[in-house]
Structure 1
Amino acid sequence: MSQESLDDTIKFRAGPLKEAATELDSVHLGGINISELAREGLTQMLQRSMTDDDKIAIYERYSAGDLSEDAARVLLGDELDLLEEDIDAFREAATDDTSDYLV
């Protein structure tokens, strides 16, 4: 885990990426929203780079209140809702009376 904290702005050397984005902005009717593209791209790459173990750790941190829902939603996307539904279903099943199922 990186010990550096992130500022509100994430900076990196864009080089050809900036040139390509600037070129597309100039030829695209109405231009493009480069910031939005960067946010979407970073979100997709963050989600793509996560393992199942990472997802579990992120959900556990979110559940413990150590991670905001917004950040958890960026990392887990729709899986956040699915995890919460699964956990609720598991809790409900754990409290069901199973005495009718015993042989």
Structure 2
Amino acid sequence: MSEESLDDTIEFRAGLLKEVATELDSVHLGGVNISEFAREGLTQMLRRTMTDDDKIAIYERYSSGDLSEDAARVLLGDEFELVQEDIDAFREASEDDTSDYLV
């Protein structure tokens, strides 16, 4: 895992996207936060791209300390809490005394 600053930039050729974002910024009352659009858009695309297996792997990396909670929450969004609840429920179920159910 690489240790990068949260201030590091991701560069790509925006081309037409930069042109239209700049144009919207110039006509929108108060302007628009183009950087915020980029962050939100990238976050949404990362989440949309992930498979269930990816989500499990991300949570496992978080659980083992290889990924920060903040990064896991960005990638998993609302599912972070759901995964945690599922794990807690599974843990409780596996610890339950099931001897009463034996015939």
Q: TM-score, normalised by structure 1?
A: 0.91
Task: Trace 1:6-45 onto structure 2 (pairs within 5 A).
Answer: 8-45=8-45
Could you tell me how far apart the structure 2 residues matched to 1:44 and 1:69 are? 18
Could you tell me how far apart the structure 2 residues matched to 1:54 and 1:6 are? 22
Measured after TM superposition, the shift of residue 102 of structure 1 is: 2.0
Measured after TM superposition, the shift of residue 6 of structure 1 is: 6.6
Measured after TM superposition, the shift of residue 24 of structure 1 is: 0.6
Gaps of 5+ in 2: none
Measured after TM superposition, the shift of residue 99 of structure 1 is: 1.6
Could you tell me how far apart the structure 2 residues matched to 1:10 and 1:98 are? 52
Give the match's secondary structure for 1:30: coil
| Distance change >3 Å, CA 6–CA 17, structure 1 → 2 | farther
1:9-65 Cα deviation digits (max 9, x unpaired): 011111000001001111111110111111000000000001111111111111100
Could you tell me how far apart the structure 2 residues matched to 1:5 and 1:22 are? 32
Aligned to 1:70: 70
Aligned to 2:102: 102
How many pairs does the alignment contain?
A: 101
Measured after TM superposition, the shift of residue 101 of structure 1 is: 1.7
Between 1:87-96 and 1:5-14, the stretch displaced more is 5-14
